[in-house]
Amino acid sequence: MLDIQQLRTHLNNINARLAQRGYAFPAEDFNSLETKRKSIQTLTQSLQAKRNAISKQIGIAKQRGEDTSSIMAEVANLGDELKQAENELEIIQAALQQLLMEVPNLPHESVPAGKSEVDNPELRRWGSPRVFDFSIRDHADIGEHLQLIDFETAAKLSGARFSVLKGNLARLHRALAQFMLDTHIQEHGYNEIYVPYLVNSECLRGTGQLPKFEADLFSIQTSSPEESAALAQAPNLHLIPTAEVPLTNMVRNSIVPLEQLPLKFVAHTPCFRSEAGSYGKDTRGLIRQHQFDKVELVQIAHPAYSYEALESLVGHAENILKKLELPYRVMLLCTGDMGFAAAKTYDIEVWLPAQNAYREISSCSNCEAFQSRRMQARFRSEQGKPELLHTLNGSGLAVGRTLVALLENYQNEDGSITIPEVLRSYMGGLDRLTT
């Protein structure tokens, strides 16, 4: 959420910066609410001052033994008027809060202007795409040929955009997650966290999924009085779209001691997304699923060091791809392609031979104080004053998409898959997937 004081003092500048994101700030609605707020606030303060002054008169009159009934009646009337003004002010403040909840973050000054992904500059590449001397298959064909991916059974169980992995491919999927966790913990200094896969609405408001992106979420629906009673202590639960949500909310309504910064969390979880608005995109295979696994990185940082932390976080995600020897490139997202809560984002895209293209496998963002302001996540500064933290997140990596990249980049002419050397110890020494 943006700082309302900034909006009050620099509205034109903020309008221009949001316009770079393709967002038209509702300035007329904001100014109208602000005018009402100022008027009611002035009235409220005036009534409070008048009530205090009359209360003093009552005290003095009582000391003198004078009749205070008329003054007491005036105070009672003032109380009713003040209560009405306070209620109106509360309604206006709530409307301002709701308006701000729909507004995206401001882009950092280093983010290039642009409208879509075609305007994203490429920063660097690592590795060279393999040259094949045989006809390559996509990952779905490979998995079905090996009889290790079963889309038909998944559709019977759950519908479209689900998959069933079998045997050594399921084991390879698990090995990838374990390898990623071990690398981030042992080499990059993250603290592993196991989090709930169901979270309340406050968590999703804190990180920015609610209220704007409710259609992308899977929510728990109760259908009987018994179920309603069972969930009475935990209403409005949603399946997590990413572990970023519970990990970042761990510092909600907290003041983190300065000496503990930065906090570095890693978690492996399933993620659940309705993929609203993605009709017709990547309907075949594992690229865009309603349920997928991800190893998520979150850093909670001092504002002075958050962009240094962003660069390190990107490097941690890149390191996984380097160890797996998968070619990739790093893109800097333009203003029109960034996520709602991000101030600056790097996308890492892995090479997929069957698509003859690079596809996103990790998105790493600095949200600055946008999420912290929603969550009231703070630290005590060097001067002892509570200040808002900066929050960062990134995939380290999306497990399913990494599996896709392995299947396509490590395929052999006979249909088998060579297992990268760094994963073989997680596979009991197995070096190849075969039928």
Annotated binding site: 242-244, 273-275, 296, 360-363, 393, 395
Instruction: Give kind and range of the element (H or E) at residue 256.
Output: strand 254-256
CA distance from start to end of the chain: 52
CA dihedral (110, 391, 266, 271) positive or negative: negative
- Can you tell me the distance from the alpha carbon of 105 to that of 303, in angstroms, rounded to the nearest whole number? 16
The CA angle 139-144-148, to the nearest 5 degrees, is: 95
Residue 281 has which token pair? Answer: 């995109």
Report the SS3 class of residue 239.
strand
- Of 396, 408, 174, residue with least CA distance to 286: 408
Residues making up the binding site for L-serine = 242-244, 273, 296, 393, 395
Question: 297 near 262, Cβ under 8 Å?
Answer: no
Question: 207 near 279, Cβ under 8 Å?
Answer: no
Give the pairing type, strands 377-380 and 386-388. antiparallel
Residues making up the binding site for ATP = 273-275, 360-363
- Can you tell me the distance from the alpha carbon of 209 to that of 378, in angstroms, rounded to the nearest whole number? 20
